[in-house]
């Protein structure tokens, strides 16, 4: 790997297996000798923790505009404090959610995608963005016991629609998330290794 590392993000609906897969990817890349790290958004920084407490687990729904601004602010800190320093050390950074989550979720909440893009202008582009695609009906079954405001069928459908726009634009690489955990992991690794072979 060159001096500057690579930035990969993993996206998908709630309950698509994204966190498991992002962590598996890091483990498998490490086995292959890459200096890979796992990170996530919302981040573990102060704003990320605030989002988890007040937006995701709070009783009252926060306005979509406020949510979008908080996610963008958290992303700014995440990029500055975690992603860029790791890239500068030549690491392979795997982020469990990134800017496409804001576009998909806050877009699904009715916000103008252009505005969501604008407030996320500071966010560096990932080198590779992967979408673990599952149909909303599947994730709703998986999420039933821990259903929250973000996790109803209607919302998940809208979120998937936005993600698909970016798949069509060629910005997100779609992986079939309906396969077994092992198959999904293999498919993601294949896409990532193919990208790295070309990029290095
Ligand atoms: P998680 O379950 O992957 O930790 O994500 C928490 C929730 O936050 C999930 O429902 C998606 C949502 N989210 C947004 O709405 N916008 C964003 O920019 C990010 C990063 C997450």
What are the structural domains of the chain? 6-199 (3.40.50.300)
Pocket perturbation via mutation, ligand 1, pick of 42, 98, 104, 147 by most ligand atoms within 8 A of CB = 42
**What is the CA(150)–ligand 1 centre distance, in A?**
9
Angstrom distance (rounded) from CA 40 to CA 96: 4
Phi-psi sector, 66: left (phi>0), alpha (psi -120 to 50), beta: alpha
State which of 61, 101, 146 you would mutate to test the pocket of ligand 1, scoring each by most atoms of that ligand within 8 A of its C-beta.
Answer: 101
Q: Is residue 159 predicted with pLDDT exceeding 80?
A: yes
Which stretch of 62-66, 100-104, 135-139 has the lowest confidence by average pLDDT?
135-139
C-alpha 155 to ligand 1 mean position (Å): 13
Name which of 81, 83, 110 is nearest 98 in CA terms: 83
pLDDT at 35 over 70: yes
The percentage of the chain sitting over the pLDDT mark of 90, rounded to a whole number, equals: 84
Pairing of strands 128-133, 6-12: parallel
Binding-site residues, ligand 1, Cβ < 6 A: 14, 41-42, 56, 71, 97, 101-102, 105-106, 150
Average pLDDT, the chain: 93
Question: What is the structure's pLDDT at 56?
Answer: 85
Report if pTM > 0.85: yes
Instruction: Report the nearest atom of ligand 1 relative to the CA of 72.
Output: 18
- Section 36-57 average pLDDT: 95
For 70-100, the pLDDT digits (tens) are 999 999 999 999 999 999 999 999 999 999 9
Question: Which element (helix H / strand E) includes 19?
Answer: helix 18-31
Q: What confidence score (pLDDT) does residue 66 get?
A: 96
What is the model's pLDDT at position 147? 55
Looking at residue 2, its pLDDT comes to 43
pLDDT digits (tens, 9 = 90+) for 122-149: 999 999 999 999 999 888 877 765 555 4
The CA distances from residue 57 to 50, 104, 121, 146, 156, in Å, are 10, 19, 27, 11, 18
């Amino acid at each position: 790997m060159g001096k500057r590392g690579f930035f990969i993000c993993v996206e998908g609906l709630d309950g698509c297996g994204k966190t498991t897969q992002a962590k598996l990817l890091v483990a498998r890349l490490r086995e292959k000798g890459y200096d890979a790290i796992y990170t996530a958004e919302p981040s573990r920084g102060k704003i990320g923790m605030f989002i988890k407490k007040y937006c995701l687990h709070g009783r009252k729904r926060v306005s979509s505009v406020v949510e979008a601004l908080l996610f963008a602010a958290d992303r700014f800190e995440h990029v500055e404090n975690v992603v860029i320093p790791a890239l500068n050390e030549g690491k392979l950074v795997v982020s469990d959610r990134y800017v496409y989550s804001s576009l998909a979720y806050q877009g699904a909440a009715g916000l103008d995608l252009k505005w969501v893009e604008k407030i996320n202008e500071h966010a560096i582009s990932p080198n590779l963005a992967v979408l673990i695609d599952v149909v909303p009906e599947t994730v709703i079954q998986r999420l039933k016991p821990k259903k929250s405001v973000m996790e109803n069928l209607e919302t998940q459908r809208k979120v998937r629609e936005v993600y698909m726009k970016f798949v069509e634009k060629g910005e997100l690489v779609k992986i079939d998330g309906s396969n077994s955990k092992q198959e999904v992991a293999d498919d993601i690794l294949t896409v990532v290794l193919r990208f790295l072979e070309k990029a290095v």
